[in-house]
């Protein structure tokens, strides 16, 4: 017995990672369907080490009889096709920003708020949070349970893969071009990304913050606690895969670094790599291709009452997107919440 699973946006970075993750984790699939835009129809994508799938057109696909659809095609496409899929009884797990803040769509990180899944059936849609939010709330959850988070100040160092394959190509091309004196002409980014940091991710809002920074606040409150205050500065850095975050937390109650270490080491989905010596911490290069959220540089913050600071890194294509989506599907099965039984 297995589920009929559709992967929407199968030719993109996240779609390919979803297919890879489904195979690696032995999700109980009976059939996997790769879907993408009409211009990608006919292409081939890998599922596991031996199976190759022919990409079908999303516009022409009938979701009737499909158990789960894992969407990662872009918000505008999800806005049209996710409700169409959900109307047939298919459970949609959407990785775009389209439904995250809808009050009747649960926003879920399985290590943090698996109970929220019980509320998905009104729309048949579950939202996957933003990549930068996911890794932060995974790290905050055990600390929140211990001493209750009051305020978070976070600076992100986000890889170019968060903007798609073309962004990765732009970093590669610009980096290579610098060594032969080519002019770096930005196309995906607003400034050259090679050997540079760009403090601008997503659109600017009226208050001067960017939408990426806004997302980290509103999503953290929806997932973890509505009373947590978050101020974020989100920066694109010349790294291919993996997001880093410098996180400063003020708690309501006293908490020591030792207590935090112990709580983090026991928490699901977290690896503590924290040796106070040269190289005794995790970097983006170290964790590419890994599933956990890595925490390093944990220390007291003496500038606020009950403060801690730490460094957090994760693979944004895995835990920040594909893995979290597949874990949601696994949790639906574990909690017996699937609308349809497997064939």
State the burial class of residue 170 (Cβ atoms within 10 Å of its Cβ: 0-12, 13-18, 19+).
buried
Active site residue 197: no
Active site residue 243: yes
| C-beta atoms surrounding 43 within 10 Å | 13
Active-site pick, 90, 131, 234, 312: 131
| H or E stretch at 178 | helix 165-178
Q: Which of 326, 140, 341 is nearest to 248 (CA)?
A: 140
User: How far is residue 291's CA from residue 268's CA, in Å, rounded to a whole number?
Assistant: 11
| C-beta atoms surrounding 132 within 10 Å | 28
Q: What residues form DSSP beta bridges with 245?
A: 156, 312
User: How far is residue 324's CA from residue 133's CA, in Å, rounded to a whole number?
Assistant: 12
**What secondary structure letter does DSSP report for 124?**
T
Give, in order, the Cα–Cα distances in Å from 221 to each of 8, 151, 211, 253, 282.
28, 11, 15, 19, 27
3-class SS of residue 217: helix
29 within 8 A of 18, measured Cβ to Cβ? no
| C-beta atoms surrounding 85 within 10 Å | 27
Active-site pick, 144, 243, 306, 312: 243
Q: Which of 199, 269, 206 is nearest to 237 (CA)?
A: 199
**What secondary structure letter does DSSP report for 32?**
E
DSSP 285-324: HHHTT--SEEEEEEEEETTSTTEEEEEEEE-TTIIIIIHH
Tokens of 86: 């959900």
- Give 199's Cβ-side CA count (13 Å radius): 6
What residues act catalytically?
131, 243
């Amino acid at each position: 017995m297995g589920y009929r699973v559709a992967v929407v946006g199968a030719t993109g970075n996240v779609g390919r990672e979803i297919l890879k993750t489904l195979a690696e984790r032995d999700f109980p699939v009976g059939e996997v369907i790769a879907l993408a835009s009409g211009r990608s129809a006919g292409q081939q994508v890998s599922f596991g080490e031996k199976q190759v799938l022919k990409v079908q057109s999303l516009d022409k696909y009938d979701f009737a009889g499909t158990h789960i659809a894992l969407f990662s095609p872009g918000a505008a496409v999800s806005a049209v096709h996710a409700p169409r899929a959900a109307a047939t009884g298919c459970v949609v797990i959407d990785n775009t920003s389209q439904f995250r803040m809808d009050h009747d769509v649960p926003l879920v990180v399985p290590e943090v708020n698996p109970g929220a899944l019980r509320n998905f059936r009104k729309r048949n849609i579950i939202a996957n949070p933003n990549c930068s939010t996911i890794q932060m709330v995974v790290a905050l959850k055990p600390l929140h349970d211990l001493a209750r988070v009051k305020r978070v100040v976070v600076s992100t160092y986000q890889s170019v893969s968060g903007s798609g394959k073309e962004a990765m190509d732009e970093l590669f091309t610009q980096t290579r071009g610098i060594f032969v004196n080519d002019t770096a002409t930005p196309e995906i980014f607003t400034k050259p990304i090679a050997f540079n940091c760009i403090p601008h991710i997503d659109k600017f809002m009226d208050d001067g913050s960017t939408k990426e920074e806004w997302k980290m606040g509103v999503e953290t409150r929806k997932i973890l606690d509505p009373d947590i205050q978050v101020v974020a500065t989100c920066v694109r850095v010349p790294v291919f895969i993996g997001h880093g975050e410098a996180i400063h937390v003020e708690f309501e109650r006293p908490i020591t670094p030792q207590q935090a270490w112990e709580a983090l080491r026991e928490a699901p989905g977290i690896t503590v790599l924290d040796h106070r010596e040269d190289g005794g911490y995790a970097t983006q290069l170290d964790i590419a291709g890994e599933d956990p959220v890595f925490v390093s540089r944990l220390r007291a913050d003496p500038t606020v009452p009950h403060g801690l600071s730490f460094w957090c890194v994760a693979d944004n294509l895995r835990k920040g997107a594909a893995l979290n989506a597949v874990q949601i599907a696994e949790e639906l099965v574990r909690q017996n919440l699937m609308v349809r039984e497997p064939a």
